[in-house]
Amino acid sequence: MSGEIPEGLIKPEFERRYRELLGDEYELLLSFMAKKPIPSIRINPMKVEPEWLVDKLSEEGWELERIPWYDYGCRVIRGPERLGNTPWHQLGLYYVQEAASMIPPVVLRPEPGLKILDLAASPGSKATQIAEMMSFKGLLIANDVNPARVDALAANVQRMGSLNVVVTISDGRRAPQKFGYNVFDKVILDAPCSSLGEVRRSWGALARWSPKSVNKISKLQVSLAKAAYQTLKPGGLMVYSTCTLEPKENEWVVYNLVRMGAIIEKPEIRGLKWRPGLEGWMNWEFGKEMKRTMRVYPQDNDTLGFYVALLKKPT
The residues carrying an active-site annotation are 243
- Which positions ≥6 away from 41 have C-beta within 8 Å? 73, 74, 76, 83, 94, 95, 96, 97
Cα–Cα dist 69/269, whole Å:
6
Q: Which whole-number Å values give the CA distances from 79 to 38, 74, 230, in the listed order?
A: 11, 12, 44
Kindly state the greatest CA–CA separation across the chain: 56
For residues 237 and 267, the answer to whether their CB atoms sit within 8 Å is no
State how far Cα 226 lies from the chain centre: 18
DSSP 101: G
Q: Is 175 helix (H, G, I), strand (E, B) or coil?
A: helix
Alpha helix (H) residue ranges in 60-202: 87-90, 103-108, 125-133, 147-160, 175-179
Nearest to 312 by CA among 253, 206, 237: 237
84 CB burial (10 A radius; 0-12, 13-18, 19+) = exposed
Cα–Cα dist 244/102, whole Å:
15
